[in-house]
Amino acid sequence: MKILLNRKTAKFLKGQVVTRAILVAVCIPFLLPFFWMLSTALKNLPQTVTFPPVWIPDPIVWDNFREAIQTIPFFTYFKNTAFYVVFSIVGTLISCPFVAYGLSMVRWPARDSLLLLILATMMIPFPVTMVPLFIIFGKLGWINTYAPLIVPTFFGTPFFIFLLRQFFMTIPPALPDAARIDGASELTIFARVILPLCKPALGVVALFQFLASWNNFMGPLIYLMEESKYPLSLGLQDYRSTYFVEWNLFMAASTIVVVPTVIIFFIFQRRLIEGIHLTGVKE
């Protein structure tokens, strides 16, 4: 009996080791760019252009991070980024759950047809709408402001609407029906019954919107004209000059910009996986 158990244990451990070895091997190509960025951030300038490349910096130059922050108006860019990210998340969390509730918990004609129409807009590539949107925002006087980047989030994002709608469909219809029998309005049902149950899904939406806003480069590039209004994603271009790039400072600043997203991901990793799992449940 003991021999049988030992064999099963050895087989189990062998399977676990092989599985984890495969996962590590698959992860290495994805981690190499991050490792190269961090390595370059700790090099002196000559080592960044040395061939063959130097993977382990010698000496390690920690002052690159301090100099990277001082070379450009880093904290101004950070303040602009925080302003843009916070309000875009607020707009998304206000609009998308509201629309998703109407497309899932309220019965009305052509509801499913409207959902298909909303999903169809996801198939339109951004370059197709880029020029018309610029013209519209220009006529509204919104160019060189954050309005073109923030205001649309208050009108819903198709992907997040679909994600939340799928989660709402998993909620038993008896809950809102019981509230309607008690005389609760749809707004009361939405605020007091539905929203408290969808915190995991809202966390996923907030995290995705944070990543999208924090890393958004094309939107600020199109609509913002003054350097004092640049977010970090656009402000990093200040390290580029006409003839030369200070790669060590550029990578040091890039590392500082990437670190918050990595920290937030690991903090909310369990909530993210839970939310994706729940929103993926079939109706």
Please give the distance of CA 169 from its chain centroid, rounded to a whole number.
Answer: 24
Q: What pTM value is reported for the model?
A: 0.81
36-73 core/surface letters (b: 16 or more CB in 10 A; e: else)? ebbbbbbbeeebbeeeeebeebeeebeebbeebbebbb
36 lies in some domain: no
Average pLDDT, the chain: 82
Cα 32–34–37 angle (5° rounding)?
Answer: 110
Which is it for the CA torsion 264, 229, 79, 42, positive or negative?
positive
Measured in residues, the chain has a length of: 283
What is Dmax (Cα atoms) for the chain? 81
40 lies in some domain: no
Average pLDDT rounded to a whole number, residues 106-123 = 86
Q: Distance between CA atoms of 157 and 148, rounded to whole angstroms?
A: 14
Among 182, 200, 179, which residue's Cα sits nearest to residue 190? Answer: 179
Number of domain units in the chain: 1
Q: Point out the least confidently predicted range of 99-113, 148-162, 231-245, 265-279.
A: 265-279
159, 92 contact by CB (below 8 A): no
Q: How many CA atoms lie within 13 A of 94 on its CB side?
A: 12
**pLDDT for the residue 179:** 82
Digit-coded pLDDT (tens) for 204-225: 888 889 989 998 888 898 999 8
Phi, psi of 184 (to 5 degrees): -75, 140
Domain extent, residue 188, equals 73-279
30 lies in some domain: no
Cα 158–134–232 angle (5° rounding)?
Answer: 75
Phi, psi of 183 (to 5 degrees): 95, 10
147 lies in some domain: yes
16 lies in some domain: no
183 lies in some domain: yes
Task: Please give the share of the chain, as a percent, with pLDDT higher than 70.
Answer: 88
Q: Which CATH number covers residue 119?
A: 1.10.3720.10
Map tokens 């980024």 to a residue: 81
139 lies in some domain: yes
78 lies in some domain: yes
Residue 29, preceding peptide bond in cis (omega within 30° of 0):
no
**pLDDT for the residue 244:** 63
246 pLDDT above the threshold of 70: yes
Among 207, 210, 214, which residue's Cα sits nearest to residue 269? Answer: 207
